[in-house]
Structure 1
Amino acid sequence: MPSITLKIDVDTYRGTREGVPNLVRLLQQHQANASFLFSLGPDHTGWALRRAFRPGFFQKVSRTSVVEHYGLKTLMYGVLLPAPDIGRTCAAEMRAVRDAGFECGIHTWDHVVWQDHVRRRDATWTRTQMQKSFDRFTDIFGQPPQTHGAAGWQMNEHAFAQLDAFGMAYASDGRAQLTESGTLADPAAGPHRLSALGKTHSCIQLPTTLPTLDEMLGRSMHGAVVDTANIAAHLLKLTEQPRDHVYTLHAELEGQKLAPIFDQLLSGWRAQGYQCMAMADYYEQVKNEPLPTYPVSWGELPGRSGELILQA
């Protein structure tokens, strides 16, 4: 049976408080499994307004209604409002996810700081940021994290080395290359290892292989403009041919305004014969397979501004 691994990125305080419980209920209704990856430090979402100067940023904002999905208050955190400490104030919500039977892991310490700076930072800065999230996760859950999914699919070679130092066997920090229509540019894309800093790392990467909702909304795909009425159908068309996939969703989107679309996707994937699983489940399926090794690589994806980690 082919699988859809559901990787849930939780970026913000609001997403943790409101989107995460909604997703837990929806997944339980569909008897689907998933991995929740938490931002564990301050919510400085307002600092992301600096990205307005990047090519393609305004185009994405206009397509995805950032204010509608994230809320004006969230966009003021760190600018006009103090940044809430997500891990300190939302520990109960995070433990409730674990208690409901879902895998929990690390997304980042400070989402905006990591996404905007990690590519150019050194080993000391990188280890410090990752150790903060590791320690906070351990404090909240009483045990160390088993997995990681990078904020904004942004990493550096020191960060990949740190995953090995933490003893993480698997993570989902990058993406597979996609065509303009959302299909895989390389049909063989999938689990792999990375070579960096002169060595092959043991941590297996499980790259996201499908476009995200915010990358699709407002774009022309398959001859039609994608909107909330047809986006589920467009995404389900990409999974018509059975193969294992990793799909990244966001607590701020599928957990709130776009929850009805995620409901359609879960029903559609079941009808297509997929099993929805957590990253840990997918890792168990592939850990003994002979996996390819690639160098750390960067590139762009349709519908997303800036470069991110891509499977070479």
Structure 2
Amino acid sequence: MKRLALKIDVDTYRGTLRGVPALVDLLTRQQAGATFLFSLGPDHTGRAIRRAFRPGFMKKVKRTSVLEHYGLLTLMYGVVLPGPNIGRRCGSTLRVVRDAGFEVGVHCWDHVRWQDGVVGADNAWVETEMTRAVARFTEIFGEAPRVHGAAGWQMNRHALRLTQRLGFAISSDCRGTHPFIPVIDGEIVACPQLPTTLPTLDELIGVDDITADSVADHLLALTDGQSGDQVFTLHAELEGMRLLPQFERLLEGWKEQGFSLVSMADMAASLDLKRLPRHAVCFDEVPGRSGKLLVQGPEFPG
């Protein structure tokens, strides 16, 4: 059986309130499994404006219509307006996702702070951010999280080590081709990675004449005939709202291609996690994204 895990990153207050319920409804109708990863602290999306000086960032903003997808109010949070605390305000919404049968996990505490700050952060900074998110998750759901997926595919060695120390069973913090055990600076981290294997819709739209109307068919052409397991990352702010019809087209197309649409836990359950290959992780560019992301590197000997 071919499996395709759906990993849903929920970055913002707006995405939590509007995108998440729409995705729960669609996935339920399509009888598809999925993993929802929540931002659990303040929504400081407006502070992302500091990325304007990063190579490629403004080009991506123009391609993907950030204002259209995120809304003006969201882009003011943390700059002109105080950022609403997502976990504190939206606990009931998050529990509805779990109660509907979907896997839930941790994305981050403060999405912009993590994405922009973790690469150069020390262990104390990382531990504060991750333990805050774990504590809020536990408060909301009454149990500790078992899955972690880093905001913006941004991590460092301290954060990888903490996925192990904090008890996560699996993580999806990087881009890659297949599940593996990560090795960083020669150190094995005993928390398997199920990397995102497919490009995201916002990475494809606006490139090589791909439009919002054609992006689903383009992605389906990439997966047509593939036999291995895949992980697709989507966002509540995009596929849960303006790109919802495109996402529904993907779900229907993937089922026609013979994929079973599952959560990351379901995919992990089919793997012998103790026998996964070890791969170094490193930072590299990914087409359609600005800056460098954590990526699966070469297989590690031994």
- TM-score over 0.5 for the alignment? yes
After TM superposition, the structure 1 = structure 2 runs for residues 1-312 of structure 1, keeping only pairs within 5 Å, are 1-176=1-176, 189-196=177-184, 198-220=186-208, 225-241=209-225, 242-288=227-273, 290-312=275-297
Q: Which whole-Å CA distance do the structure 1 matches of 2:147 and 2:185 have between them?
A: 21
Q: Which whole-Å CA distance do the structure 2 matches of 1:280 and 1:243 have between them?
A: 17
Contact 1:147–1:168 (Cα < 8 Å) also in 2: yes
Contact 2:138–2:144 (Cα < 8 Å) also in 1: yes
Q: Which whole-Å CA distance do the structure 1 matches of 2:163 and 2:16 have between them?
A: 24
Deviations along 1:11-47, whole A, 9 cap, x unmatched? 0000000000000000011000000000000000000
Q: Which whole-Å CA distance do the structure 1 matches of 2:246 and 2:82 have between them?
A: 32
Q: Which whole-Å CA distance do the structure 2 matches of 1:212 and 1:104 have between them?
A: 20
Alpha-carbon distance, 1:290 to partner: 2.3
Deviations along 1:38-73, whole A, 9 cap, x unmatched? 000000000001101111011101100000000010
Deviations along 1:66-96, whole A, 9 cap, x unmatched? 0000001000001111110000000000000
Q: Which whole-Å CA distance do the structure 1 matches of 2:43 and 2:273 have between them?
A: 38
Is the partner of 2:296 in helix, strand or coil? coil
Alpha-carbon distance, 1:194 to partner: 1.0
In the alignment, structure 1 segments of 5+ residues that lack a partner are 177-188
Contact 2:192–2:273 (Cα < 8 Å) also in 1: no
Change (3 A) 1:114 1:288: closer
Q: Which whole-Å CA distance do the structure 1 matches of 2:289 and 2:235 have between them?
A: 15
Please, which moves more after superposition, 286-295 or 15-24?
Answer: 286-295
Q: Which whole-Å CA distance do the structure 2 matches of 1:227 and 1:197 have between them?
A: 40
Deviations along 1:80-125, whole A, 9 cap, x unmatched? 1111000000000000000000000000000000000100001111
Contact 2:127–2:159 (Cα < 8 Å) also in 1: yes
Contact 1:161–1:196 (Cα < 8 Å) also in 2: no
Alpha-carbon distance, 1:198 to partner: 4.6
Q: TM-score, normalised by structure 2?
A: 0.96
Letter in 2 for 1:137: F
Letter in 2 for 1:285: S
Q: Which whole-Å CA distance do the structure 2 matches of 1:53 and 1:196 have between them?
A: 29
Q: Which whole-Å CA distance do the structure 1 matches of 2:205 and 2:143 have between them?
A: 38
Q: Which whole-Å CA distance do the structure 2 matches of 1:3 and 1:112 have between them?
A: 31
Q: Which whole-Å CA distance do the structure 2 matches of 1:197 and 1:167 have between them?
A: 21
Alpha-carbon distance, 1:287 to partner: 3.2
Q: Which whole-Å CA distance do the structure 1 matches of 2:274 and 2:239 have between them?
A: 32
Identity, % of aligned positions: 56
Alpha-carbon distance, 1:292 to partner: 1.5
Alpha-carbon distance, 1:296 to partner: 2.5
Letter in 2 for 1:47: R
Letter in 2 for 1:88: R
Contact 1:299–1:307 (Cα < 8 Å) also in 2: yes
In the alignment, structure 2 segments of 5+ residues that lack a partner are 298-302
Alpha-carbon distance, 1:285 to partner: 1.0
Deviations along 1:266-311, whole A, 9 cap, x unmatched? 0000100000000100111113462211222000011110000011
Alpha-carbon distance, 1:229 to partner: 1.4
Alpha-carbon distance, 1:137 to partner: 0.2
Q: TM-score, normalised by structure 1?
A: 0.93
Moved over 2 A (4+): 196-199, 287-290
Q: Which whole-Å CA distance do the structure 1 matches of 2:97 and 2:72 have between them?
A: 26
Q: Which whole-Å CA distance do the structure 1 matches of 2:188 and 2:213 have between them?
A: 44
Letter in 2 for 1:204: P
